[in-house]
Amino acid sequence: MKLVACVAVVVASLSGSAHAFDTWWHAECTRKAMEGTGFSADARLVMQVENYLTDVFPAFGVANEKLNKEGLQKLNLKADASYDFMHFDAVFTTADITANWDTLEKNTVAALQKFAKDPDVKPGFRLVVLYAILGASLHTVQDFYSHSNWVNHYAEGHTNPIPIWFDVAAKDRDKLDLFSGAYPDGSAKGHKDHGELNKDSSARQLNMAAVEVATRASIDWVQRVMKATPDVPWGELQSYSIDKNVVMKKFLKTQDATFLTTSSVIAGHFDGEKPVKQVFAPGDPARETRMAITAFGILIPDYLTNMGTKGNVFGLPSPYWAGHMGYHVTHALADGLLLDGKAYHAK
């Protein structure tokens, strides 16, 4: 059996239990959010991929030497500044934190409403684009709890459970000294760095507390935006199934699921540099990486073939990348978000 197919089986099984703040934890929060709001298993896997792609452009993907060495640069992924604003990094005041939450909610609702009816969305891509909007916005929601001092504040006060953002009245949030870490480290003198504050992996302090509250926040976020956008085809999104579609199943369950796992393992982004969570070779980090590299090496030519296929107008590695590479949904989501005191403005 081809190794890529074997990896896909592993990833598919993970999407039903625990999976990938680093990729493992984002995927776990996303799985539970979709499961808790009535989405099918196939929809959950699509959402895990869309959430993950928010880290690929360009947070560690095109900039990661290990992945480039293994062939990622052949995909010709374009760095896009909007993605820098999608991780709740370098937001240094409570007022700016609040502004980002307000902007993200407004933008997510507006983007869902727009792309649900936009006549320019090509046939077959509408659901994928809507998944991308929801998955990317969830990524930002989840990163708030890992990258800011929100969890630290409530953990130090022994508050259990830690409230999500929307649980706390605005007048009480305004009294808090809230901020997220500077990224990259050392880029904002006088502020705590991302490396000091993040809870991205199992080995990091307060990781499990951050995962727990981010999971509840993810469920709340999906419910919140669904309620605000009744005209979005939520029934189709929730019941999504490709069990009888051999082509789409290959793209999602073999190729994209494999990309998610192998690229994050190679980049050291699956569960930190000293992962507790492993997929291919538990207890053997060196073999884990070797197996990921082998599967990744098999996958890249498949992606390149897809990109060169006649009729692939966006040059997509997979149709599930359309929201990011074809319709650039993060331009709409990031519009007005703050990073180090500066706002992103979509062109």
How far is the C-alpha of 316 from the C-alpha of 37, rounded, in Å? 29
**What is the pLDDT at residue 63?**
52
**What is the pLDDT at residue 312?**
94
**What is the pLDDT at residue 58?**
59
Say if residues 237 and 127 touch (Cβ distance below 8 Å): yes
Low-confidence ranges of the chain (pLDDT < 70): 1-21, 58-63
Say if residues 270 and 20 touch (Cβ distance below 8 Å): yes
| Cβ neighbourhood burial of 324 (10 Å; 0-12, 13-18, 19+) | buried
In 3-state terms, what secondary structure has residue 180? strand
Say if residues 298 and 2 touch (Cβ distance below 8 Å): yes
pLDDT (tens digit per residue) in 231-267? 999 999 999 999 999 999 999 999 999 999 999 999 8
**What is the pLDDT at residue 10?**
45
pLDDT (tens digit per residue) in 129-163? 999 999 999 999 999 999 999 999 999 999 999 99
234, 245, 323, 260: which is closest to 40 by C-alpha? 234
* Residue pointed to by tokens 């809870």: 199
**What is the pLDDT at residue 276?**
83
The model's pTM is 0.93
In the structure encoding, which two tokens stand for residue 59, read together?
């947070």
Domain coordinates in residue numbering, the chain? 3-343
